[in-house]
Structure 1
Amino acid sequence: MAKKKVKKRKEIKRKLLHKYRLVILNESTFEEKISFKLSRLNVFVTGSLFMIGLIGLTTLLIAFTPLREYIPGYSSTRLKKEATELTYKTDSLIRTLNYTNKYLDNIRMVLKGDIENTVVNRDSLFQQYKLDPASVDLSPIKEDSLLRAEVALEDKYNLFERTIDKKNLVLFTPVTGSISMGFNPNEKHYAVDVTAVTDSPVKAVANGTVIFSE
């Protein structure tokens, strides 16, 4: 029995590994076009791999393409979207229906006289938000006083042009006379000298503070 089994195995192995040649000939000239060296084992392995690849490709096409909608039991994307929208609309309608029923119940209770009409004093509602000025300390704090003094000191000797409304500004000559010496930074003369009659009034263009007079 053991010898028969071994012999049978060898016969099966021989058949699987036995080489065959597949030849494609021209029918008219019997010219050999293509030839393949095959065995039963190679054909079986190649066919199995081909079937596995075909099954995998089919699975991918069904799983990731709209083709799955044609398979019984699968729902389409459009149906899922419509179902989701209907769910949202249903929730909104239920919420609106609950509000309406509650509103009608309140009206029904009012018509039956189950609710007493309470008078609300309007002044009492705003009483808690009223503020007594006497209870508020309006005196400036130390930091505020120091800041005010610092700003006033800076503005007192500020020689730069201030931001003013120039629409209502009227320009005129401060004093009438002839210029004896103009502005000359090279000679450290940072002013314009104007000669005028003694005791002539000198007018200012805008409000300010005299910081130097000679």
Structure 2
Amino acid sequence: MKRFDLKKITQLKYLFVIRKEQDFSVLSSFSLSALRILVLSAFVFLVIFGLAVLSTKTIFKRWFDASSAQMANTERILALSDQVDSLLIEVRKKEQFIDNIQLIIKGEPLEVGEEIPTSVPQANRTDGIVNQQWSEGTKKIMQEFQSPSAEPVLANRNSAASSDAGAVFFFTPIKGFVSARFDPVNDHFGVDVIAKGNEPVLAIADGTVILSTWTINTGHVIGIQHRGEFLSFYKHNSVLLKDVGDVVRGGDIVSIVGNTGDLSTGSHLHFELWHKGSALNPQEFITFD
């Protein structure tokens, strides 16, 4: 009876030859020992076995484990809930921005808790007002400069507005007599400048037109966003010469002075200047006479 000799088996060598079928010429050949074949076979077996176990656990767990499926569904629901919450917050901010713009152009005071829009990047037109797209920087600025009081804050030359205004040259929108000064206590957030009829109204600085519309109280109104987060509003115009989205340069004619709107009692320009949620006294930055 022959005895099983592992040593002899492992020392066996085999020659693998690849020939052409037509003429049996040798294309390639290589040799393998029995030991190498055993090691290679064991390695392939272990790899296939490991992949089979891994796939079995994950696939079967996904198919038959109710708790795993429930956890996956819960994660998806939470992710969708976060997205919905973020979208709702953005929608509320945009709605608040539009409401505040409408209050400003109507000359009405803001209610407690409301904010003045602080930045208007390039956006889409909707009913004569641009839709705000809030950036992270704008959110931080709004939180920093938010005022808890119901009335806009009066800024002076020692405030942040003065430092920002140092980099911006303001043109006089119209020359004339200031008949009503800045008085935020009585909800008058700008100045009234009496001028000759059909006088042109100029943009105070480079910027983008964010609204060009008409309201019952303030007539034809145009608003411009300037760098440094300044907003300027020109009310009671007889004619508006720029549309929403137009880019203007300082000194460009944007409208013609007029006497439109129920709050107007004569040909004049009501001009307002805002900065980071605060109403500014235009006469501290611009000379009208």
TM-score (norm 2): 0.22
Bigger strand fraction: 2
Bigger helix fraction: 1
Higher relative CO (CA 8 A, sep ≥ 6), structure 1 or 2? 2
